[in-house]
Amino acid sequence: MKIALVGGTGDIGTGFAVRWGQKHEIIIGSRNVDKARESAAAVLQLLGAAADVRGTDNAGAVATADVVVLCVPYEHLAFVTADLKDSYKSQLVISPVVPMIYNGKFFLYNPPAEGSAALQTRRLLPKGVRLVSAFHTICAAALQDIERMMKGDAFICGDEAEAIDIVMELAGEIKSLRPLKAGPLAASSLVESLTPFLLNVARKNKIKDAGIAVVSERKLSEQMAKIIKN
C-alpha cells in the first residue's frame, strides 16, 4: 500500500515510517518539503535502500496515497484536511489526532463542537474518503524503535468494516501491538480522551513511555477451560 504520513516528520510519523516502511511505500508529507526529504532519508538509512520511503509536500503525499495518517497536533487538523480537500478522493484516512489542553495543572480533553476530532475530520473531508480513528495512545518513542515489542493496545473506531480491517492489519504489522475495535466513529471521543488521561497518569506516577492495555481479569483456569472447550 501507499501510505502518506502527513505532518509526518515528527516522532509519531517517523515511528509509522519505520514500522511500515519495510513492507509498504511510505510518503512523508510536510509543509516544509526539505524537512520531509530529510526525514525520509533518515528512515531509509535505518531501513536500507531497498525500502521505498520519500518526502514531499502534504498535498502531494495525500494525492498519491491509498492510506493517509494525520500525524499532526489538533491545532493543524484543518491544514491537512479542509485545506487539502482537492487532494482527497477515496483514500482511507487514519486520525490519531487528540484535541486537548494543559490547564497548568493537568491535561484535559477539549473536543470541538462535533464531539471529537474524528467527527470534525469527517465533516472536513470529502464524502468519498473513508475515515478511521486509531493509534491515539501509542507511545511514539517506542514506535520509532523498530525492534521494540509493544505492550499497549491500539484502539480503533470506524463505521466501515473493510476500512477497520485494513487498519487492524496495519496495526498488527507493528510488533506485538494488539488492535482492538472500540466502536463506531461516533465513539471516538472515548478513545481520544485516553491520551490526556494517560499523560496525567504517566506524569503523576513517573511512568516513562506509557501506553494503555485492556486486560482480562478471568482466572487462568477459566481461560484454559475455554480454550480446551473450543
Query: Would you tell me which residues interact with a second copy (CB under 8 A)?
Result: 105-106, 108-109, 139, 141-142, 145, 148, 150-152, 155, 180-184, 186-187, 189-191, 193-194, 196-198, 200-202, 204-205, 207-219
Of 59 and 153, the one with the shorter C-beta distance to a second copy is 153
Give the shortest CB-53-to-a second copy separation in angstroms: 23
C-alpha cell at 159: 463505521
Of 117 and 142, the one with the shorter C-beta distance to a second copy is 142
Give the shortest CB-139-to-a second copy separation in angstroms: 4
Give the shortest CB-36-to-a second copy separation in angstroms: 26
Of 1 and 140, the one with the shorter C-beta distance to a second copy is 140
C-alpha cell at 70: 494525520
Give the shortest CB-197-to-a second copy separation in angstroms: 4
Q: Give backbone dihedrals phi and psi of 49, rounded to 5 degrees, phi first.
A: -70, -15
User: Starting from the edge strand earliest in sequence, which strands make up the sheet with 178-181, in order?
Assistant: 52-57, 25-30, 2-6, 67-70, 92-95, 130-134, 153-158, 178-181
In the beta sheet, which residues pair with residue 92? 67, 130
Element containing residue 133 per DSSP (H, E): strand 130-134
Of 127 and 208, the one with the shorter C-beta distance to a second copy is 208
Whether the CB-CB separation of 200 and 175 falls below 8 Å is answered with no
Q: Look at residue 186 and give its three-state secondary structure.
A: helix
Determine how many CB atoms are found less than 10 A away from the CB of residue 228.
Answer: 7
Of 121 and 189, the one with the shorter C-beta distance to a second copy is 189
Give the shortest CB-122-to-a second copy separation in angstroms: 16
